[in-house]
């Protein structure tokens, strides 16, 4: 047994894994971010539902099987996490960092810089189809300022990115802003806490009458995880579950994505694929939110988002770079429930 494995085992014996509290709060909060109109990533390729207006899911035997797989995956992740409490090999597989040194900030810097540069070159504001026409000079200038600040000072950039994300709710319809602002706010919070002068500093946060205390790096990764989880749930509801017609119209143009049908499963219709893809993304978001074996979900997120980027075009891959970067960071530096906001060792905060 290596020294690192001995250290993990000793640390595991020193403290029992705490029972996760407030599990329902983070998924429940995502309900506040559901809107009646879909303006999410699928609109990079289609602007309406085509022939699939008011399409509804069909609940046949195949749909029941898909829903069963959804709950089975969640159960698998929960079981694996529970098993890690008594099995060191499983614990290492789920929670051992890929790198000893922290690369969170530079990875986020590079990913956001690529996105901003691509937006400026293509005269896009935030994302394709975020606005109906080409970006105005003021909108392009705001992104240029963000890029310039990102290069000069990460601390200032984290503040500006947070302000930029919040102003989207003021200057654009809610259904437009919510599909991107959560992701950007999570990145801003992560870069703020993981900057060189804050990553080892201890912070205390009070949430729902409980006090949470940890260093900047762990808080930054926690905010990134929660933000990515909420963003995934929001996007899958908007892209697929709330408006299946948009995804069905997308499949009309890209039939190759329904690979089960292409492989000969003739009864696996496009509507089944939309349901399966939507519930898959929803399960990934839920697992990230409750932080049970999050590395499993993150592995699937990296695979599917990278694959779709390769199958479509470079713009799709670049547009998903912040999500890919966040998923890679969280996959590389997984944190047990014991040091996440959902289950950190708690002490009752004084209630005034």
Two structure tokens written together for 117: 């540069």
**Residue 53 near residue 256 (C-beta atoms within 8 A):** no
CA distances from 266 to 250, 262, 269 (A): 19, 8, 7
Q: Is 205 exposed, middle or buried (0-12, 13-18, 19+ CB in 10 A)?
A: middle
**Euclidean distance between CA atoms 193 and 24, whole angstroms:** 25
What's the alpha-carbon Rg for the chain, to the nearest Å?
21
Give the residues across from 348 on adjacent strands: 210
Two structure tokens written together for 100: 């000893």
Look at residue 197 in the predicted model and tell me its pLDDT: 72
Look at residue 16 in the predicted model and tell me its pLDDT: 34
What does residue 114 show for φ and ψ, rounded to 5 degrees? -60, -45
Per-residue b or e along 259-285, where b marks 16 or more CB atoms closer than 10 Å to that residue's CB: eebeeeeeebbbbbbbbbbbbbbbbbb
Instruction: Enter the pTM of the model.
Output: 0.81
**Euclidean distance between CA atoms 39 and 126, whole angstroms:** 12
H-assigned helices in 100-207 = 104-122, 137-152, 154-171, 174-194
Look at residue 349 in the predicted model and tell me its pLDDT: 37
Q: What is the pLDDT along the chain (352 residues), one digit of tens a residue?
A: 454 544 444 444 333 333 344 455 555 555 555 555 555 566 666 666 666 777 788 888 899 999 999 999 999 999 999 898 888 888 899 988 888 888 899 999 999 999 999 989 988 888 776 775 667 888 899 999 999 999 999 999 999 999 999 998 888 877 778 888 889 999 999 999 888 777 667 766 665 555 666 777 888 898 899 899 988 888 888 778 887 887 888 888 877 788 787 777 778 888 888 899 999 999 999 999 888 889 999 999 999 888 887 777 776 777 788 899 999 999 999 887 643 444 443 433 333 3
Look at residue 29 in the predicted model and tell me its pLDDT: 57
């Amino acid at each position: 047994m290596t020294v690192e494995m001995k250290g993990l085992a000793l640390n595991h014996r020193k403290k029992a894994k705490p029972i996760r509290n407030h599990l329902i709060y983070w998924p429940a909060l995502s309900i506040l971010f559901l809107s009646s109109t879909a303006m999410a990533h699928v609109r990079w390729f289609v602007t309406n539902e085509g022939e699939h207006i008011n399409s509804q899911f069909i609940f046949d035997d195949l749909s029941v099987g898909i829903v069963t797989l959804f709950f089975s995956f969640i159960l698998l992740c929960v079981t694996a996490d529970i098993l890690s409490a008594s099995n060191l090999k499983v614990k290492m597989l789920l929670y051992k960092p890929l790198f000893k040194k922290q690369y969170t900030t530079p990875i986020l810097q590079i990913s956001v810089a690529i996105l901003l540069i691509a937006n400026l070159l293509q005269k896009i504001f935030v994302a394709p189809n975020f606005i109906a026409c080409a970006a105005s000079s003021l909108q392009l200038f705001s992104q240029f300022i963000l890029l310039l600040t990102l290069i000069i000072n990460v601390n200032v950039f984290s503040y500006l990115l947070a302000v930029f994300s919040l102003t989207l709710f003021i200057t654009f319809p809610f259904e437009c802003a919510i599909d991107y602002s959560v992701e950007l706010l999570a990145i801003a919070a992560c870069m703020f806490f993981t900057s060189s002068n804050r990553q080892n500093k201890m912070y205390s946060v009070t949430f729902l009458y409980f006090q949470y205390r940890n260093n900047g790096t762990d808080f930054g990764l926690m905010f990134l995880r929660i933000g990515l989880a909420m963003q995934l749930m929001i996007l899958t509801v908007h892209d697929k579950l709330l408006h299946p017609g948009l995804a069905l119209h997308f499949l009309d143009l890209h039939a190759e994505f329904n690979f089960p049908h292409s492989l000969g499963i003739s009864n696996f219709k496009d509507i089944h694929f939309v349901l399966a893809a939507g519930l898959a993304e929803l399960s990934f978001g839920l697992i990230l939110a409750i932080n049970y074996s999050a590395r499993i979900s993150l592995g699937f997120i990296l695979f599917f988002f990278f694959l779709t980027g390769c199958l479509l075009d470079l713009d799709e891959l670049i547009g998903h770079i912040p999500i890919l970067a966040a998923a890679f960071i969280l996959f590389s530096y997984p944190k047990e429930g014991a040091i996440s906001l959902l289950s950190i060792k708690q002490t009752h905060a004084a209630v005034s």
